[in-house]
């Protein structure tokens, strides 16, 4: 298995992985989103390949902190194909995120994971994550 930077041409497979996370119908806009991510210096979109097939993906955003010395990395989307789970692919992707974070002076990684994703919570706890008290969002009508 290898981890590489995603390419715009990976959009169909990434859309399938997002669908497994509960985000259907992303193919309509995904190519342009990937293009934006790939050109931003604080964004990382990587895929995990096994025998030239994409089996996982992770999107990481680096966020400067005004009031804290270190910055932080945020995992925004992280999916391993359901047919390839429990093979260490997620662990390898998360380790890659740690490398990125350390190289960019981050002192923590955060991830928001919906309460319905109990298997994902178990994965994150095994990797040393702890729960943070509150996360609030405001939906903006577009």
Tens of pLDDT, residues 73-90: 999 999 999 999 889 999
Question: In the chain, where are the structural domains located?
Answer: 2-126
pTM score, whole prediction: 0.83
- Residues 29-66: tens digit of each pLDDT: 999 999 999 999 999 999 999 999 999 999 999 999 99
**What does each C-alpha distance from 95 to 54, 89, 142 come to in angstroms?**
18, 10, 36
pLDDT at 142: 66
Helices and strands in the chain, H and E counts: 4, 5
3-state secondary structure 110-127: EECCCCCCHHHHHHHHHC
Q: Which CATH number fits domain 2-126: 3.40.630.30, 1.10.3810.10, 3.40.50.2000, 3.90.1300.10?
A: 3.40.630.30
**Residue 23 CB partners (closer than 8 Å, separation 6+):** none
Residues near 60 by beta carbon (within 8 Å), at least 6 away in sequence:
43, 44, 45, 46, 73, 74, 75, 76, 97, 100, 101
pLDDT at 135: 67
Contacts of 6 (CB under 8 A, 6+ apart): 14, 34, 37, 38, 45, 46, 47, 57
**pLDDT above 90 covers what percent of the chain?**
65
CA distances from 75 to 24, 43, 57, 122, 141 (A): 19, 10, 11, 16, 25
Mention every residue, 6+ apart, whose C-beta is less than 8 A from residue 142: none
């Amino acid at each position: 298995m290898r981890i590489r930077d995603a390419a715009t041409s990976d959009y169909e497979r990434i859309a399938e992985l997002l669908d497994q996370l509960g985000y259907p119908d992303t193919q309509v806009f995904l190519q342009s989103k990937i293009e934006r991510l790939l050109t931003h210096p604080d964004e990382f979109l990587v895929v995990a390949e096994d025998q030239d097939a994409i089996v996982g993906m992770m999107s990481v955003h680096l966020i400067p902190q005004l009031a804290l010395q270190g910055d932080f990395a945020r995992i925004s989307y992280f999916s391993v194909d359901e047919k390839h789970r429990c093979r260490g692919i997620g662990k390898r992707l998360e380790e890659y995120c740690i490398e990125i974070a350390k190289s960019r002076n981050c002192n923590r990684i955060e991830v928001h994971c919906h309460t319905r994703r109990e298997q994902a919570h178990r994965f994150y706890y095994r990797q040393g994550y702890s729960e943070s008290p509150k996360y609030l969002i405001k939906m903006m009508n577009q």
